[in-house]
């Protein structure tokens, strides 16, 4: 029986956290605010970019909308530095070859399509849901539920792959399998929400 894999992007298929952290750092530096890159990284993995900008809005008084807009502009300039996680493309191609369905549910926004095309994996996916699709943010399961309902998916054969606790909580809330991609040095601590843990994306072929 074929399986369905729904993918997070940043930190899961995209080696993009350095780009994200540098983008946030440079954004606030323009306002004379020096930040700790390690703290940015930890917050983004634990929560999200939007959560970090909200937090800094409370501290600095610079509005969320202003900072998010400037961060997006800087991020657009830096996206050329994003690379694929090791074995990402090979894993996607192998899953597709054996007949599995591949989707994306990500908090990344309008840059998603161009980044995936730049890296040569856009055509691997049957459908992509981004922050612009209007679903509630993770750990709410709305994005996963959308795929389940639209395609009549069997929950037991659905796997949501991500690198953060919030991804695994999202999978659990949707009633699907959570696959935690956990690399050495990650700030993510498994909490039992995950169904599986993999340290190499290619190991997903053995699930």
pLDDT of res. 187: 83
Query: 189 or 204: which carries more pLDDT confidence?
Result: 204
Q: Which residues pair with 198 in a beta bridge?
A: 181
Q: What is the pLDDT of residues 144-186, one digit of tens each?
A: 999 999 999 999 999 999 999 999 999 999 999 999 999 887 8
State mean pLDDT over 194-206: 97
pLDDT band at 110 (very low <50, low <70, confident <90, very high): confident
**Domains of the chain: residue spans and CATH:** 4-15+82-206 (3.40.50.1000), 17-81 (1.10.150.240)
Q: How far apart are CA 125 and CA 154, in angstroms?
A: 18
Instruction: Reply yes or no on whether the pLDDT at 100 is more than 90.
Output: yes
Of the candidates 151, 152, 171, 153, the residue with the CA atom closest to the CA atom of residue 161: 171
């Amino acid at each position: 029986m074929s399986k369905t894999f729904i993918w997070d992007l940043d930190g899961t298929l995209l080696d993009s956290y350095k780009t994200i952290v540098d983008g946030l750092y440079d954004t606030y530096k323009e306002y004379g605010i020096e930040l700790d890159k390690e703290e940015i990284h930890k917050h983004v993995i634990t929560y999200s970019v939007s959560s970090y900008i909200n937090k800094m809005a409370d501290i600095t008084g610079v509005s969320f909308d202003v900072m998010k807009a400037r961060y997006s502009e800087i991020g657009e300039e830096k996206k050329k530095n994003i690379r694929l996680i090791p074995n990402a493309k090979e894993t996607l191609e192998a899953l597709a070859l054996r007949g599995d369905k591949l989707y994306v549910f990500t908090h990344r926004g309008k840059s998603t399509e161009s980044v995936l095309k730049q890296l040569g994996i856009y055509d691997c996916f049957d459908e992509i849901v981004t922050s612009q699709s209007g679903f509630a943010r993770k750990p709410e399961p709305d994005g996963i539920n959308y795929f389940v309902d639209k395609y009549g998916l069997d929950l037991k054969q659905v796997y949501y792959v991500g690198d953060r606790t919030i991804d695994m909580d999202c999978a659990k809330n949707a009633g699907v399998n959570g696959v935690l991609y956990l690399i050495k040095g990650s700030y993510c601590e498994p909490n039992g929400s995950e169904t599986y843990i993999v340290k190499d994306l290619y190991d997903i072929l053995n699930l």
